[in-house]
């Protein structure tokens, strides 16, 4: 067990990321106490039932009182409202961070709400599953995954180093990035792929010549992975696309150009273009595996559950 990094950590929002943070923090002994709050009474009751957080509070203000670190783990669209709600209760010298997958918008809506004696350090753990809710978390979620820290202007070095240490001891690799570049990178690696997955599953649903039972029964690996991605939390992804509009539209424009080129190659029978293109994209997949960010095991190493 490591020495605690913070005396008290408050988790605002108790979904997959926050619940995994709690179990990872407890696994390594990184906080004296972890408080938690979720807007839904049902979620709070579930958290109490499964022992998620040392103390589950009935308001965000109660949860953040005396906390050295406050983690905003709510949908991006709610970040500003939550920051405004807790601002006056924050401990002087505390650090506020978040786990949202859009950074420029979060900085714009959260930063102005916080007192000047509070350190604001946006963050984004690049880890997740298609599952959500307090019961979906597990301590190993961040192991060997990346967490991007996005320090705001004039960020103090000590709170930044402390937050980096927390993520490292929760198992993550840590890097720093400016907000504009972060949002562009994530548009490429996460946001546009999710939108494409939602679209492909939607196309299958709309294509009435292929019945629902056939889609389910005869799904090949590619479509199964689309459905896994498209099962992600609707509220979170609605907010992501609305708040990272420019970068996502830029990447989707590029995607459309690539798609038109592939359509033309198929139409005119240009097999060499297709072969060369697929060879380049295959190399990217190999690079992800070699970097330890996935596996070449069947079904990407996902454990099969009974009945699936």
Q: What is the pLDDT of residues 116-135, one digit of tens each?
A: 999 999 999 998 877 889 99
The domain locations on the chain are 6-177, 181-269
| CB 170, CB 30: distance < 8 Å | yes
User: How many angstroms separate the first and last alpha carbons of the chain?
Assistant: 37
Q: What is the pLDDT of residues 288-304, one digit of tens each?
A: 777 777 655 544 444 44
Q: What is the pLDDT of residues 209-262, one digit of tens each?
A: 656 666 666 666 677 777 777 777 888 889 988 998 898 899 899 889 999 999
- Model pLDDT, residue 7: 98
- Spell out the residues 6+ positions from residue 105 whose beta carbon is closer than 8 angstroms to its own: 76, 243, 244
* Over residues 152-174, mean pLDDT: 96
Topology of the domain covering 181-269? 6-phosphogluconate dehydrogenase C-terminal fold (1.10.3660)
Q: How far from 203 is each of 76, 226, 248, CA to CA, in Å?
A: 27, 11, 20
Relative to beta strand 123-126, strand 119-120 is: unpaired
Average pLDDT, the chain: 88
**55, containing H or E segment:** strand 55-56
> What CATH code would you report for 6-177?
3.40.50.720
- Model pLDDT, residue 190: 85
In the three-class reduction of DSSP (H, G, I as helix; E, B as strand; rest coil), residue 97 is classed as strand
Max Cα separation, the chain?
67
Q: What is the pLDDT of residues 256-283, one digit of tens each?
A: 999 999 999 999 999 999 999 888 888 8
Q: Model confidence at 285, in pLDDT bands (50, 70, 90)? A: confident
């Amino acid at each position: 067990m490591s020495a605690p990094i913070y005396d008290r950590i408050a988790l605002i929002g108790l979904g997959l990321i926050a619940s995994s943070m709690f179990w990872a923090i407890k696994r390594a002994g990184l906080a004296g106490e972890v408080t938690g709050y979720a807007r839904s009474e049902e979620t709070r009751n579930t958290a109490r039932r499964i022992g998620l957080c040392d103390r589950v509070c009935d308001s965000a203000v109660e949860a953040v009182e005396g906390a050295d670190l406050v983690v905003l783990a709510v949908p991006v669209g709610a970040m500003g409202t939550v920051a405004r709600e807790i601002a006056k209760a924050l401990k002087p010298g505390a650090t506020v961070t978040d786990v949202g997958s859009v950074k420029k918008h979060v900085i714009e809506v959260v930063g102005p709400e916080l007192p000047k004696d509070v350190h604001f350090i946006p963050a984004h753990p690049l880890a997740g599953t298609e599952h959500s809710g307090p019961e979906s978390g597990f301590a190993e979620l961040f192991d060997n995954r990346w967490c991007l820290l996005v320090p705001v202007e004039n960020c103090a070095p000590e709170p930044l180093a402390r937050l980096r240490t927390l993520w490292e001891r929760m198992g993550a690799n840590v890097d720093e990035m400016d907000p504009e570049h972060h949002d562009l990178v994530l548009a490429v690696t996460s946001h546009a792929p999710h939108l494409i997955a939602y679209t492909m599953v939607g196309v299958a649903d709309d294509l009435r010549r292929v019945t629902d039972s056939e889609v389910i029964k005869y799904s090949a690996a590619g479509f199964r992975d689309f459905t896994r991605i498209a099962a992600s939390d609707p509220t979170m992804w609605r907010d992501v696309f609305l708040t990272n509009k420019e970068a996502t539209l830029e990447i989707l424009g590029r995607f459309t150009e690539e798609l038109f080129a592939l359509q033309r190659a198929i139409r005119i029978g240009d097999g060499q273009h297709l072969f060369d293109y697929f060879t380049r994209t295959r190399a990217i997949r190999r690079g992800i595996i070699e970097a330890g960010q996935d596996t070449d095991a069947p079904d990407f190493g996902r454990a099969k559950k009974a009945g699936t």
